[in-house]
Amino acid sequence: MDIDFILQNISRHIQLDKTETDFFISILQSKKLKRKEFLLKQGDICKTENFIIKGCLRTYTIDENGFEHVVMFGIEDWWVGDLFSFLTQSPSTYYIDAIEESEILQIKKSDLDKLYERVPKFERFFRLILQNAFIAQQQRINQNLSFTAEQRYLDFITKHPNLEQRLSQKQVSAYLGITPVFLSMLRKKLSQK
């Protein structure tokens, strides 16, 4: 299990001693996902918080007409899961699947509760992670309400310059809230500028 990556992620926010590190490592579970394999399906309960070591995942819903709406993509060094389902142990409204072969490290809810008790620093760590996620979500909602499709696309490729090459046109358009045809026209227009 490659844990250096997750320890680097954690060290940006908190410092752990050897005993704390060892306990944290002891509760991690490694999981590999094949391309298109589900980490979570709508209606299931999210039982883990997940750190991406390698790969790309997406969190999305499917509406009554069968259209996908991508809420977020997760890549290396990101956390992914359905926080509401995880915390309340209620059915998820999301699907999470692997866009690429992926490797993740997981923490079960019961183990996370133990971690908070044994290493209280992790409450600070996850608070900071959640604050950042909340801010990003608020910005995304604001952009979806007030930005044009072109502005949303430009913001996406600016914030995530290498991500677009890993995604299909359909996935990018589902994230931006536009059709693949419109995205194609938008890309063509921007390339001519």
Answer yes or no: do 31 and 108 share one domain.
yes
pLDDT band at 95 (very low <50, low <70, confident <90, very high): very high
Q: Which of 19, 4, 21 is nearest to 125 (CA)?
A: 21
| Mean model confidence pLDDT for the chain | 95
Answer yes or no: do 180 and 160 share one domain.
yes
% residues pLDDT > 70 (the chain): 99
Answer yes or no: do 106 and 191 share one domain.
no
Answer yes or no: do 54 and 86 share one domain.
yes
pLDDT at residue 20 tops 80: yes
Are 184 and 151 a contacting pair, CB within 8 Å? no
Answer yes or no: do 137 and 151 share one domain.
no
Q: How far is CA 164 from CA 73, 154, 169, in A?
A: 10, 11, 8
Q: How far apart are CA 154 and CA 60, in angstroms?
A: 21
Q: How far apart are CA 113 and CA 27, in angstroms?
A: 11
Answer yes or no: do 49 and 100 share one domain.
yes
Answer yes or no: do 98 and 164 share one domain.
no
Answer yes or no: do 124 and 168 share one domain.
no
pLDDT band at 2 (very low <50, low <70, confident <90, very high): confident
Domain count, the chain: 2
Determine the pLDDT at residue 70.
96
Q: How far apart are CA 95 and CA 43, in angstroms?
A: 9
Return the residue matching tokens 């509406």: 63
Determine the pLDDT at residue 76.
96
Answer yes or no: do 135 and 192 share one domain.
no
Tell me what the mean pLDDT of segment 82-101 comes to. 97
Answer yes or no: do 125 and 159 share one domain.
no
Answer yes or no: do 133 and 157 share one domain.
no
The predicted model scores a pTM of 0.92
Answer yes or no: do 43 and 114 share one domain.
yes
pLDDT band at 151 (very low <50, low <70, confident <90, very high): very high
pLDDT tens by residue, 97-139: 999 999 999 999 999 999 999 999 999 999 999 999 999 999 9
Determine the pLDDT at residue 193.
79
> What residues make up the domain containing 155?
147-193
Q: What is the CATH number of the domain that holds 122?
A: 2.60.120.10
Tell me what the mean pLDDT of segment 54-71 comes to. 96
pLDDT band at 166 (very low <50, low <70, confident <90, very high): very high
Q: How far is CA 30 from CA 53, 105, 122, 162, in A?
A: 10, 5, 20, 26
Tell me what the mean pLDDT of segment 153-160 comes to. 94
Are 149 and 176 a contacting pair, CB within 8 Å? yes
Are 59 and 74 a contacting pair, CB within 8 Å? yes
